[in-house]
Amino acid sequence: MENKSEPITEYRSDKQPTLEELQQFVGGDIVIAYADDKQIVVNSEGLYLNLPINEVASEEYGSRGEPLVGNAMILSGNAKLK
């Protein structure tokens, strides 16, 4: 089943989210894409699930490979995972 709803992008810089918060936000297991000084967290199976392209997250990620799909949480500053 295709999910064509518009993906959500959330920016965080103040407080590190928990694993559970990240999984709930992206709708499953997570994978982290690294872009400059940011971490972009998306669903690890997003391409297989045919989630819609997240234009905002893909722009942040740049031309490093596949477009990012589904909801994305962009972490910077104190919110980055250690």
Work out the pLDDT band at 1, boundaries 50, 70, 90.
Answer: very low
In a domain, 59, yes or no: yes
Q: What is d(CA 67, CA 40) in angstroms, rounded to the nearest whole number?
A: 12
The pLDDT, as a whole number, for residue 3 is 52
pLDDT for the residue 76: 97
- 4 in any annotated domain: no
Average pLDDT over residues 3-19: 91
Range of the domain at 56: 9-79
Cross-strand partners of 42: 31
pTM for the model: 0.91
Could you tell me the sign of the dihedral formed by the alpha carbons of 59, 81, 47, 20, in that order? Answer: negative
In a domain, 44, yes or no: yes
Kindly state whether residue 25 falls inside one of the protein's structural domains.
yes
Is 56 within a domain?
yes
Position 1 in a domain: no
pLDDT, one tens digit per residue, over 22-73 is 999 999 999 999 998 999 999 999 999 999 999 999 999 997 778 999 999 9
Q: Does 35 reside within a domain?
A: yes
Question: Could you tell me which residues come within 8 angstroms of residue 4 by beta carbon, excluding any fewer than 6 positions away?
Answer: 52
pLDDT score of 4 more than 90? no
Query: What is d(CA 35, CA 61) in angstroms, rounded to the nearest whole number?
Result: 5
**Residue 22's closest CA among 36, 7, 12?**
12
Instruction: Domain count for the chain, please give it.
Output: 1
Asked if residue 72 lies in contact with residue 43, where contact means CB atoms within 8 angstroms, the answer is no
Does any domain span residue 3?
A: no
The token pair at 66 is 């596949």
